[in-house]
Chain A
Amino acid sequence: MSAFLAILRKDLMLELRGGRSTTALVSLALLVLVVLTFALDRSAGGGGPATAAGALWIALVFAGMLGATRVMVAEQENGCLRALLLSPVDRAILYAAKLTASTTFMIAAAGAATIMAMLFFNLEFSDSLATLAIALILGALGFSALATLLAAISIRARGGELLLPLLIVPLFVPALIAGVKASAAALSGAPLAAAREWVGILIAFDVLFIAAGYLLFEHVVGEE
């Protein structure tokens, strides 16, 4: 547990000092939302809750890819990943710490992106925001679980940064659909019950991605 906390604390400390991940995540989310707000024709019904949910998730997916890569790339500098692998820390704990850090950055970006989306799409802040928060947190967790594992592969491959979107997007599509649907229901003011099925799918994919990461991370970062 102390190793988990030490790695997480170190990642958060590095992020607070550099601020590169969160700044990039929020900037990217802002850019996507601004472009979509102006690109969609509201008079043709293009600015409703469903569109806002789609825009929010596009922003999150792009931002999440950046965040997960940053968390792993930070370990590449000065060969620090090798030092972590040489330490007695279990690979599963290393994965859990990286996943927690990545999810934290993504939730911070999601919070900022949600506020921007509400403002840009002129949506009301209502009680159903709790449903939206659940969908976003579950989505961020699942995406980070998958992205952390795949980022560990991509940072070791030549041209890995190009490889990451190619690997992650197809695998995340089912969870993405569920996330968009649950978020759209929440943004249209529906209660949690209306989004229950989609939230259930998100939970299932979270379990799947976390289990895959837990089991495979050791082999992905293992010996050369």
Chain B
Amino acid sequence: MAAPVIETHALGKTFGLTPVLQETEFKLSPGRGAIVIGGNGCGKSTLLSIFAGLVAPSEGYALVFGEDTRRFGPRYRRRIGMMSHQSFLYPNLSARENLEFYARLYEVSAPREVADSWLARLGLADCAGDRVRTFSRGMEQRLAAARATIHGPSLLLLDEPFAGLDPDGAARVRTLIKSALEEGCSIVATAHTPFAVEGIELEVYEIVRGQVVPWLEEDAPRRGRLRSLLRPRPS
């Protein structure tokens, strides 16, 4: 059996006195997709930031590609793509310039051609030369999806990828997720509620009391009622 892409052990993160994640155990196999759901402030973004090596765990550890995220080097970072709440795009650069810049950072060959092909794929070819400053939230989100995947990552971390998207944009991002999974990429996405990608089986987890637990549909109504009671409080 192939080694997991992500594996955590007793993972915890505390901001000040507020525990966000506690004793979290999570595992993701290569080529699999997982959705982590939960309410605002439950720790979804923190979890993805730990996987990306941007946030250090307070307790326990997270192994991504078998490497502790605290010791992530360029070799590991190259294999990760991340889509965050923030678009990571420069407002005063055009859509093409932004993608070309990131393609060069990841040493993608023929960066301009690759940027143009991604712009076409996400329906942004007509505004390739427009500055991102002029983009709507949805257009920026689509461009952010292209930015996250332009270098062909092995692990894609998507923080609420459908936020602010219209149906067409959501369908394009859904297609992007599907093709990434079909190409063998592993995906962890966060959302407030589970979502489906046609023809793809996704594992669904929920963050409850700072822990990532498998989500069971039949438990959802009960969880909803208890969520306020279960939310971690400052110790």
Contact = CB atoms under 8 A, between A and B. Distances in A.
Interface of A: 2-3, 5-7, 10, 13-14, 17-18, 74, 77-80, 82-90, 223-224
Interface stretch (B80-88, B188-196, B207-215): B80-88
A89 B105 contact: yes
B112 interface: no
B172 interface: no
Given A6-B104, A78-B88, A79-B86, A86 B93 contact: no
A117 to B, nearest CB: 32
B105 A13 contact: no
A14 B132 CA distance: 13
B101 to A, nearest CB: 5
Interface of B: 49, 52-56, 70, 74-75, 77-78, 80, 82, 84-93, 97, 101-102, 104-107, 147
A224 B80 CA distance: 18
Contacts of B82: 83, 86
A95 to B, nearest CB: 14
Nearest to B107: A2
Contacts of A7: 105
Contacts of B77: 86-88
Contacts of A87: 77-78, 102, 105-106
B105 A80 contact: no
Given A2-B107, A6-B101, A86-B80, A78 B56 contact: no
A134 B163 CA distance: 53
Contacts of A80: 88-90
B74 A83 contact: no
Given A88-B75, A224-B54, 8 more contacts: A10-B101, A18-B92, A78-B90, A82-B54, A83-B102, A86-B80, A89-B105, A224-B55
Q: Chain A CB within 10 Å — which of B82, B86, B91, B105 has the most?
A: B105
A91 to B, nearest CB: 9
